[in-house]
Structure 1
């Protein structure tokens, strides 16, 4: 424990974690370890040193943890942007031809495949793909114009 304390800059909690992890590794490798006291001691110190080095490396890569700043203001989620975007999209959808709007609603909003939509509408899959393509282009243009 004293060795681990010195390695961790006298951070007792971290040193205890290092000792515990070292003993776990010793337990898992007990059948492979040299039982002579000097060899066992050297192995334990090496493992502890490597654990501390890995800890220092991982701490240097992670962003520094900061305490949460208390604020008098409480953040309230504002859904207005989503609402406005939905309204703009609805208006843009109304500007599409009925065939294009139906293709978009069936594929994107109802989450159906092109083949399912084609069977429902009684048109070839290629026609559905074409309608979706043109509808999406028109929607993009309309969305750009509306901001």
Structure 2
């Protein structure tokens, strides 16, 4: 029964409701669905009378009820994206906590290991530049960097920061 009602009256009913809702297709489809659901729940209301006028009346009443309900509620406020962008997020706090934890882990390293990591990672120097700045051979910079990273990873794991 419902399928037959939809196939016979669904198109015109949707067009009518689209005009009532100002072209809001999602709302119009919801109204058509609710109208057909009410027709299915109350088959006795359809017997002995033309179906299309009853469907259009129910649909119109649903649109009017939705409009009245919307007016009775306070208006919804939009979210201003610029205001939200200016608020500190949890990412800022997380980054600060992570940087403190990394600083603590770096402080735990031996001075030669810490110096190599500071030169290569924080100052962005190449191995040759770090070797010149520290006054040690390039091969020593490479090996100290390797062992310093292992020690740093272990120190971060102890603090629950590294996987």
Q: Give the TM-score normalised by the residue count of structure 1.
A: 0.49
Q: Which has the higher helix share?
A: 2
Q: Which has the larger radius of gyration?
A: 2
Q: Give the TM-score normalised by the residue count of structure 2.
A: 0.44
